[in-house]
A and B are shown apart, each in its own frame.
Chain A
Amino acid sequence: MRGATLGVGIVAASILLALVAVGPAAAQTVDPADEAEICPGTSGDSLVVVLPGGTDVRPGDDTTLLPGTEAEIALCSGGEVISTTAWPVDGEVDGVSVGESERFSYPVTVETVEEPTPVEFAPAISQRGDVDTPTVTATPGNVMTVGVDSTTYRVAVAADDRDRLRRANDTYVETLDGMRAAAADLDEDAGRLDPDPDVPDDRRLPQINQTRAVTTNYATIQSLLFSAATSGNTEAVAALDAYERRHDDALGDTRDSLETANRAIERQARSTALGVLGNLLGVALVGAVVGGIGGRVLTDRILSEVEIDRRRSSAVDFRPKHLAVQLGIAAVLVAGAAILVVTQGLLDPLVAVVRAVIGV
């Protein structure tokens, strides 16, 4: 049930993200047609802060904004949006910079502040007298420029998280690019590799074996960008989308390179193993023929003597003990071969040879 809900959410989010890419959020200028949305619940002269994402902050509301946040202010009078000519902003407003007036609104950008700063709009609109305003606070933070591929995004991140995002991004980019490049190199060299036998298997590909670091840092980046996105920072949404594309592309490239390299390495190991096995079995076959002839000659000689004794006495007959010498010699030779394998450190290599040939 939860999975189905999540699935619907993902589909909906994909559609919404696609809409973001088209850019509906950019059309933001207030006009009188919006007054039914902006002005409800206001009375007299009420200043409304229109945030990116369509959130309206009215008198009685309380909001905290990060530096770099771009918004608009509009004035509702008697429930209608009124022209900016009727309410010139003629003073400074702590915590924000006010841009050139539009017909029915002023663009404002939250400035960098050292400490939480109340943003008082009313004193700057002296011509209107008594204006109700929402409680707005500019809080310390920063707008970071996050570069994903060739595009940059301005993302509002609280000061406490700024270094965290920067570190996570630096490590993420370094490890992800390192993984992709190392996998591509491995793919290029596969089939001509001469790996060091003394390196433990789990440390053979340190540049590529970094999925945990990539995942951890990507999760940190996503978490911080989600926070910015839910605060109305539309560029954070676009940055999330770009990060996801880059992440998927990089992991996909890495996977493709590894799969190709894997097949080439497997072929190389099998080919080499077949050569080793050919040497082992070829000499063993010759040895078996020689040994077989020797065993036959030796056994014939022993049993011929038994046959002579058998003719003299009925108590004498062919017994398995007449094979003791031959089988003893055979056991000593096979044991010698086993000892040679172990003492020369060839047990693991020969096991690897067999496994490479049968593909287990």
Chain B
Amino acid sequence: MRKPLVGGLVAAIAAGAALAAVGTVGAQGGDAASLAALVDGTQRQLGRLAAVQVAAESSNLNVVRGVGGLAGVGLGIAVGSVVTYARWGR
């Protein structure tokens, strides 16, 4: 038996679905945007990992050590000289 309210209820389903759709379109837009941001973030992390791995390659690591050595000796000379000069000045 068809209840008197069933017609109205079922008719309201379509309207309800449309309203829900308006809501879910907005929500899904937010979901998709946050997911897109997460994808971008992951891509940047991968880019950083790739760059770090370039520096960690054995041939580049020797250059990195050379850079550290040159800079360390240069800074050491500067600091050692200034400290010694200051001691002579007293």
Contact = CB atoms under 8 A, between A and B. Distances in A.
A292 B70 contact: no
B52 A276 contact: yes
Interface residues of A, number: 125
A43 B26 CA distance: 48
Contacts of B85: 299, 303, 318, 320, 322-323
B46 A295 contact: no
Contacts of A205: 39, 42-43, 46
Contacts, number: 354
Interface of A: 6-7, 9-10, 12-17, 19-20, 24-25, 27-31, 33-34, 36-37, 52-56, 186, 193-197, 199, 201-205, 208-209, 211-212, 214-215, 218-219, 222, 226, 229-232, 234, 237, 240, 244, 247-248, 251, 254-255, 258-259, 261-262, 265-266, 268-269, 272-273, 275-276, 279-296, 298-300, 303, 307, 318, 320, 322-323, 326-327, 329-334, 336-337, 340-341, 344-346, 348-353, 355-356
A127 B56 CA distance: 93
A292 B76 contact: yes
A58 to B, nearest CB: 13
Contacts of B4: 34, 36-37
Contacts of A352: 48, 51-52, 55
Given A255-B38, A327-B81, A215 B32 contact: yes
Interface residues of B, number: 78
B32 A287 contact: no
B70 A323 contact: no
Contacts of A340: 63, 66-67, 70
Contact of B77 (A268, A295, A345): A295
Contacts of A281: 68
A283 B67 CA distance: 9
Given A6-B23, A36-B4, A230-B14, A296 B84 contact: yes
Given A197-B50, A329-B77, A346-B55, A25 B1 contact: no
Contacts of B45: 262, 265-266, 269
A279 B69 CA distance: 10
Contact of A197 (B15, B39, B53): B53
Interface string B52-90: 111110001101111111111111111111111100110
A195 B79 CA distance: 41
